Amino acid sequence: MSIAKEFREFAMKGNVVDLAVAVIIGAAFGKIVASAVNDIIMPLVGTLLGGLDFTNLMVEVGNAKIQYGNFVQTVVDFVIIAWAIFVAVKVLNRLKRAEPPAAPPTPPREEQLLTEIRDLLKQR
């Protein structure tokens, strides 16, 4: 089997395509959440804390600048993204549970006849 054919079969498997779509949507979702945190939530939190701007929080140790404000903002990003994914998975799981189980397919006619014969034999 050629490498190109083998790669095509691998890339066209359902799981690989689903994973690629999930990664792309996840990256876009991460940008949306990062914008919400940077542009809406953190300015409000900073205002509530007396006009504190988290991006300017830093400590200088010698010549090094330790910008822990950016770290705080990244942690808030992570917590919000993790919470949103948790809620989304919870909703999806609830929707899956809400679906009634599919009725078992009716057995073929031969199997029905054999079942009837078995039941008649048991009655004798």
- Find the CATH number of the domain harbouring 22: 1.10.1200.120
Question: DSSP assignment, residue 105?
Answer: P
Residue numbers of the domain that contains 87: 3-99
Residue 63 lies in a domain: yes
Query: Per-residue confidence at 118, pLDDT binned at 50, 70, 90?
Result: very high
pLDDT at 1 (0 to 100): 65
pLDDT at 43 (0 to 100): 83
Q: Mean pLDDT of all residues in the chain?
A: 83
Residue 52 lies in a domain: yes
Give the C-alpha separation, 91 to 82, whole Å: 14
C-beta neighbour count of 78 within 10 angstroms: 14
What domain count does the chain have?
Answer: 1
Tell me the average pLDDT across 44-49: 84
pLDDT at residue 9 greater than cutoff 70: yes
- Tell me the CB-side half-sphere exposure of residue 72, using CA atoms within 13 A: 16
